[in-house]
Structure 1
Amino acid sequence: MEDCLPLKQHLEELVAAGHLDQYIDGGMKVAPPGQTEPNGLATLEVAPQGVINVIHSIIEPARVCELRGMIKKAEHMRETLFVQPAVKKGKSEEKDILTFSSKDLERIQMPHNDALVVTFRVKDFDIKRILIDQGSSVKIMYYDAFKQMKLDDKDLALAMSPFVGFNSQPEWPVGKIILPVKAGSVIKQVEFWVLKVPSTYNLILDRGWLHAMQAVASTYHQVLRFPAPTG
């Protein structure tokens, strides 16, 4: 029953209609009049009590005036040095618009929870199972893929620091290496850190690579798009 989506949806509809209150702890709470949207969801119209910002550090009172003066000076320099670029009058054609549409979903079996995994040409090899990880800040090549590319440990530069992942356990890379990565018609020189740990992927490309490619990734559409000389 856990995998029966139509049954789950039907049960949720019965709960929303109030037919299963006796089976739910506390029953369903009815939204106040005038605070229910057409879809049956209660709206939150109460104003927030405040805004919580990020606290970067604690500033001593004696430094407040000094910092205010520095901020004013920086604002003055920005206004003085800023030059507004000339704008041509008339309509300007927008280029390199990256979009996704429902047409991209025609080949996708929905619903899904898949990561975005692609195939690129790395050096002289077509490497499959490359994970596009927007949460990563480093590009990783796993040692098994490194050896299958007929590379040797002597090709690696020395790595001076370990990685610390979400499990807080440090992993020392074997080394690092710069290799060309070809995506479509675009080639970028990429520095990989080589790790000798088990993985279901061959490579991981991070948000730094995405920014260098000016790429936009959509895990929902299972598509990666970026501007290239040919469009």
Structure 2
Amino acid sequence: MRANGLTVLDAAPQGIINVIHGIIEPARVCEQRWMIKKAEHVREVLSIQPAVKKRKTEEKDVLTFSSKDLERIQMPHNDALMVTLRVKYFDIKRILVDQGSSVEIMYYDAFRQMKLEDKDLAPVTSSLVGFNSQPKWPIGKIILPVKAGSVTKQVEFWVLKVPSTYNLILDRGWLHAIQAVASIHHQVLRFPTPAGQIEEVWKDQVMAK
């Protein structure tokens, strides 16, 4: 469409639409452009930086691993991360830290060695799916305190009555609860304490092998 030899696209716009800010009348466009250029010039001359509100931050509970951590590890290795922790009143060895598991598992042999009985279990209403994709029905579940260093958390275990090389499996739910970071390569578990310290639990490679 043409009007006086100009197409509609050539004509001056009726307004400029900006996100949120609305419509700017054409008469003010040149005025605002001049003001913007003037502000940029002043900023260059005086080296004025836009005001940025910075919040004071403190590095806290920084959990890191280094090559020095490998000095106590037999290398090379492809071991899983297995630790020893206090569960209720017992020091339980061969506890697998599995970040891919969705529930905490206690195997029945360990359950019985802790002098617990079937009557201590609460019922469960669903099955678990293992690595072989076959469903396994727990015989029940139980809540017990798990102590890592000076940090103790109540953990709900699903008890399985199947053979296993492990006594317990602790999953990402427990890791999140104690804010722990596990390094399989360095074979160590590190976590902050309420007192603001960093504690760690190392794997016993001899026990694991």
TM-score of the superposed pair, with normalisation by structure 1: 0.60
Contact 1:158–1:175 (8 Å) recurs in 2: yes
Q: Deviations over 1:46-79 (max 9, x none)?
A: xxxxxxxxxxxxxxxxxxxxxxxxxxxxxxxxxx
RMSD over equivalenced CA pairs, Å = 1.2
* AA aligned opposite 2:111: F
Higher relative contact order (CA 8 A, sep 6+): 2
SS in 2 for 1:146: helix
Partner of 1:225: 190
Give runs of ≥4 in structure 1 deviating > 2 Å: 86-89
**Which residue of 60, 66, 69 corresponds with 1:101?**
66
Partner of 1:133: 98
Q: Which runs of 5+ in 1 are unaligned?
A: 1-85
Count of residue pairs the alignment pairs up: 144
Matches of 2:131 and 2:160, distance apart in 1: 16
User: What is the CA distance between 1:166 and its match in structure 2?
Assistant: 2.2
Matches of 1:165 and 1:146, distance apart in 2: 19
Contact 1:185–1:229 (8 Å) recurs in 2: no
SS in 2 for 1:167: coil
Q: Deviations over 1:151-178 (max 9, x none)?
A: 0000000011111112121111010000
124 and 95 in structure 1: CA distance in 2 versus 1, 3 angstrom threshold? same
Q: Which runs of 5+ in 2 are unaligned?
A: 1-52, 198-209
Q: Whose strand fraction is larger, Structure 1's or Structure 2's? A: 2
Quick check: which has more Rg, 1 or 2? 2
Matches of 2:152 and 2:126, distance apart in 1: 28
The reply to whether residue 182 of structure 1 matches residue 150 of structure 2 is: no
Partner of 2:11: none
Identity %, equivalent residues: 82
* AA aligned opposite 1:172: W
* AA aligned opposite 2:95: I
Q: Deviations over 1:71-103 (max 9, x none)?
A: xxxxxxxxxxxxxxx9645xx321100000111
TM-score of the superposed pair, with normalisation by structure 2: 0.67
Matches of 2:97 and 2:80, distance apart in 1: 8
Partner of 2:156: 191
Q: Deviations over 1:25-62 (max 9, x none)?
A: xxxxxxxxxxxxxxxxxxxxxxxxxxxxxxxxxxxxxx
